Amino acid sequence: MKNQEHPIKGQEGKQKDLLQNKSDAANKFMTTDQGVRINDDNNSLKAGERGPSLLEDFILREKITHFDHERIPERIVHARGSGAHGYFEVTNPIPQFTKAGFLSQAGKRTPVFTRFSTVAGSRGSTDLARDVRGFSVKFYTDEGIYDLVGNNIPVFFIQDAAKFPDLVHAVKPEPHNEIPQAASAHDTFWDFISLMPESMHMIMWTMSDRAIPRSYRMMEGFGVHTFRLINEQGESHFVKFHWKPKLGTHAVVWDEAQKISGKNPDFHRQDLWEAIEMGHFPEWEFGVQVIPAEDEDKFDFDLLDPTKLVPEEIVPVTVIGKMVLNRNPDNFFAETEQIAFHPGHVVPGIDFSNDPLLQGRLFSYTDTQLSRLGSPNFHEIPINRTISTMHNNQRDGHMRQEINIGRVSYHPNSLGGGCPYQAKIAEGGFSSFNERIDAHKVRERSDSFSDHFSQAKLFFDSQTDVEKLHIVRALRFELGKVETTAIRVRMLGLLSQVDGDLAAEVAKGLGLEVPAKPETPMNHGVSADDDHQKHEPAFRRQAVESSDALSMIKNPTVAPTISSRKVAFVCADGVSEEQVATLKSALLAEGAKACIIAPHLGFIDTDKGGQLPVDFTFLTASSVLFDAVYVPGGLGLNVLSENDDVLDFVNEAYKHCKVIGAEAEGIELMSGTRFAQKAESSDEGLVFGDSDKGSFTENFIAAVSQHRIWAREALEYS
Ligand code: HDE
């Protein structure tokens, strides 16, 4: 090996690297940017106490100038996001498939920074928009940066990068009035979609509850495209990447999502931050679906088509590692905002496929950083800096940090001893997979990309009734916000190609008929040659008709848990001290959090003459911000009847299928609720203290661990 320098090793490598740039003002004097101590930071320099300010005031000028330039352009997509540091650990190395060092050795840990995001909204928009979530992981490997820039949905809207600007223009707020923010429920989005049959599979996912996650910590992640793994022998296998959350995959309901957006637009950001601060480190398993190169054509879809997934029933996911996020950033701008991901950041052992969407992305991400971060030196920003060694002949540019020594900045050279050296493949040099390409140059789309509906149907058919109901309601909502009837009708035509009942149910809500024949030209988006017929959508029989992995409810990947869930305790003066203490300590023992909600802040008096500190009032909290509600004994009947906010609190929890627990007088209070009639029914989510039914605490915890009581909605399915 020619290069004798070693990267900073181990999980803490990136933290040590970042230390070089950290600044702590504790016990320090205030100075200007040039290091001159400041004597007065409150008054500008003036000609007399009441006179005009003087131009020579370099302290004022510097402060205001810096302030004027504090903002950088937000990301054109995925502007709203949150991130955290952590590590990736290999549990089941796969050297037979890849030579990537960070995947090859059991127990090896690699530092990561992961950023989650919504796509359409601006930086200041709400977390709970109905949207795809970005799931980007930067691995600081010993062999350089590897970025896995994925989403929480395994397929995409379009098949070719050429359509991405159109898709984004359509979904962003409409250009004439900049309305609506962070929402796809408007004419331009559905106009575009109704003319793009290839988007139908993705539409099934975005209209499902996947698009309104309960938490970033409870989302799956997918690399989406087919990539390649390359081993020491230079052999290639195709691969799909998966992240599976330890806490399971869970969602909120749409009515709740909209209310959370008003009550706490930072809901996901805060949830991630607090979980890490509390030591509930979010964790995902990392899995791969590996497909031998010779099997490329064995599927009933094209592996290069990003609107298709590989059903887990055909190629199972093998878990090879885990990711743990265990450290919040020190500074949002420096880390979360300035981090620059790029699917083209790969290390030896990982390579691209010819997916035309991925190929376009390989250009876009560096290009966008140039305008967003303003310089080709964005790789020098601390959060983007590799912890492996970095030497080349790239020079200069805005804000260059590195001071390259010597007179040589070219290769080959003799004056610099030939340095920096090129690395042979055996020395870790990257070489692209030696794929043979023998083809005509064409502006075409492969006929193998023309089946737009089979997997959309596979997804829909794999859902439970409640999940189907949510898709129907989401489409009724979204298309109901569309003002142009022709767009609604075109969408019904496309939906009828996915599932007749789905189209009919949506049509009922819109007060329309499903057209007998779809009005969308099916070859839209495909080459404009004369031979359109060959591009008519082909319905290919799928090897599987239903896949449990596609349903959030049928696919409980982990044992039910209440870890890090939040339970609201509806309290007031007179509350049973013992009941509150018993449930609270049981919840804490399971890693959940109990919050005392009362009519006023400060303290409330308990039945035993003690005092309980109050976390929130019914004004500052709302049940949409909690996973379950508990009403203890000792409360007077007037607690609900005299306060609409309290009644709303409990009624909404019921409406959103949450578990409601009550004991003693708390049970009597239920008689004033909207669901009082149903309280006697067999609703598993209404857990009332009753000595015949065993331990209240155990029953309550078991019910909360189910996440939601979906049967409540299924009963209302029509
Ligand atoms: Fe992106 N995408 N994208 N994208 N994308 C960006 O890069 C783009 C696509 C994804 O947390 C931008 O740095 C094109 C698929 C995530 O910082 C930009 C195409 C998937 C993030 C860009 C796609 C993604 C981005 C904007 C079609 C899932 C946030 C800011 C060819 C696999 C990364 C930036 C972060 C961000 C372009 C399609 C995921 C403009 C041209 C498919 C998670 O470069």
Query: Which pLDDT band holds residue 451 (cuts at 50, 70, 90)?
Result: very high
Q: How many residues does the chain have?
A: 718
Cis status, amide bond into 376, omega within 30 of 0? no
> Given this model, what pLDDT does residue 693 score?
78
Q: Which residue's alpha carbon is at the smallest distance from atom 6 of ligand 1?
A: 77
Most informative mutation of 364, 372, 373, 383 for ligand 1 (most atoms within 8 A of CB): 364
Identify whether 420 is preceded by a cis peptide bond (ω within 30 of 0): yes
- The pLDDT confidence band at residue 2, using thresholds 50, 70 and 90, is very low
* pLDDT score, position 718: 46
Determine whether the annotation assigns residue 269 to a binding site.
Answer: no
Known active-site residue 413: no
The per-residue pLDDT for 547 is 96
CA-nearest residue, atom 19 of ligand 1? 361
**Cβ neighbours, 10 Å, residue 132:** 24
Of 341, 362, 363, the residue with max ligand 1 atoms within 8 A of its CB, to mutate for a pocket test, comes to 341
Residue 176: burial class (beta carbons within 10 Å; 0-12, 13-18, 19+)? exposed
Question: Which residues, other chains included, contact 428 with Cβ-Cβ below 8 Å and sequence gap of 6+?
Answer: 143, 348
Residue 51: partners with Cβ closer than 8 Å, 6 or more residues away: none
Question: Ligand 1: residues within 6 Å at CB?
Answer: 75-78, 81, 115, 117, 134, 136, 149-151, 156, 161, 164, 224, 306, 340-341, 357, 360-361, 364-365, 368
3-state secondary structure of 454: helix
Task: Please give the C-alpha separations between residue 88 and each of 12, 94, 225, 242, in angstroms, as whole numbers.
Answer: 12, 15, 21, 14
For residue 50, what pLDDT band results from cuts at 50, 70 and 90? very high
Query: Which residue puts its alpha carbon closest to atom 29 of ligand 1?
Result: 78
Among 192-196, 530-534, 667-671, whose mean pLDDT is lowest? Answer: 530-534
Average pLDDT over residues 528-534: 49
What is d(CA 531, CA 151) in angstroms, rounded to the nearest whole number? 35
The model carries a pTM of 0.96
Q: Which of 106, 305, 128 is nearest to 224 (CA)?
A: 305
**Ligand 1: distance of its center to the CA of 189 in Å?**
18
Residue nearest to atom 20 of ligand 1 (CA): 150
On the question of pLDDT at 534 being above 60, the answer is: no
Number of CB atoms found within 10 A of residue 283's CB: 17
For residue 523, the model assigns a pLDDT of: 58
Instruction: For 240-249, write each residue's pLDDT tens digit.
Output: 999 999 999 9
Please determine, for residue 566, whether its predicted confidence score (pLDDT) is greater than 70.
Answer: yes
Please name which of 406, 499, 417, 412 lies closest in space to residue 454, comparing C-alpha atoms: 499
Q: Whose CA is nearest to atom 8 of ligand 1?
A: 361
pLDDT of residue 691: 72
The 10s digit of each residue's pLDDT in 389-399 is 999 999 999 99
* Amino acid 671: pLDDT: 85
Is the pLDDT score of 462 beyond 60?
yes
Is the ipTM, as predicted for this complex, more than 0.95?
Answer: yes
Please report the pLDDT score of residue 538 as a whole number.
65
Locate the ligand 1 atom nearest the alpha carbon of residue 78 and give its number: 29
Which residues are CB-contacts of 101 (< 8 A; sequence separation ≥ 6)? Answer: 108, 141, 142, 143, 347, 349
Nearest CA residue ID for atom 3, ligand 1:
361
- What letters, b where the CB count within 10 A reaches 16 and e where it falls short, cover 526-541? beeeeeeeebebeeee
133-179 pLDDT, tens digit per residue, is 999 999 999 999 999 999 999 999 999 999 999 999 999 999 999 99
CB contact set of 537 (below 8 Å; sequence gap of 6+) = 197, 450, 451, 452, 453, 497, 522
Average per-residue pLDDT for the chain: 93
708 annotated to a ligand binding site: no
Q: How far is the CA of 332 from the centre of ligand 1 (A)?
A: 20
pLDDT for res 675: 87
Q: Sorting pLDDT into bands at 50, 70 and 90, what band is 636?
A: confident
Ligand 1 atom having least distance to the Cα of 151: 28
77 Cα to the center of ligand 1, angstroms: 7
Q: How confident is the model at residue 228 (pLDDT cuts 50, 70, 90)?
A: very high
452 is catalytic: no
To test ligand 1's pocket by mutation, which of 361, 372, 384 has the most ligand atoms within 8 angstroms of CB?
Answer: 361
Atom of ligand 1 at shortest distance to CA of 364? Answer: 44
At position 218, the amino acid (one-letter code) is M
pLDDT in the model for residue 7:
46
Is the pLDDT reported for residue 212 higher than 90? yes
| Rounded percentage of the chain residues whose pLDDT exceeds 90 | 87
> What separation in Å is there between the alpha carbon of 149 and the centre of ligand 1?
7
Element at 145 (helix H, strand E): strand 144-151
Q: Whose CA is nearest to atom 24 of ligand 1?
A: 150
Q: Is 436 annotated as a binding residue?
A: no
**Residue 591 to residue 279: CA distance in whole angstroms:** 10
Block residue for tokens 């929480």:
152
Active-site position among 85, 151, 264, 452: 151
Q: Using alpha carbons only, what angle is made at residue 47 by residues 44 and 50, rounded to the nearest 5 degrees?
A: 80
Which residue in 350, 345, 354, 396 sits closest to 375, CA to CA?
A: 396
Q: How are beta strands 659-662 and 686-688 bridged, if at all? A: parallel
**Beta-sheet strand order (sheet of 616-617):** 616-617, 593-598, 566-570, 628-631, 659-662, 686-688
CA distances from 390 to 6, 144, 345, 426 (A): 11, 8, 14, 18
How far lies 66's CA from each of 32, 43, 71, 114, 554, in Å? 11, 17, 10, 29, 53
What sign for the dihedral angle of Cα 685, 688, 690, 695? positive
The pLDDT of residue 622 is 96
115 is in an annotated binding site: yes
Q: Is 365 annotated as a binding residue?
A: yes
Domains of the chain: 81-384 (2.40.180.10), 452-523+539-550 (1.20.1370.20), 566-715 (3.40.50.880)
Mean pLDDT of all residues in 586-612: 96
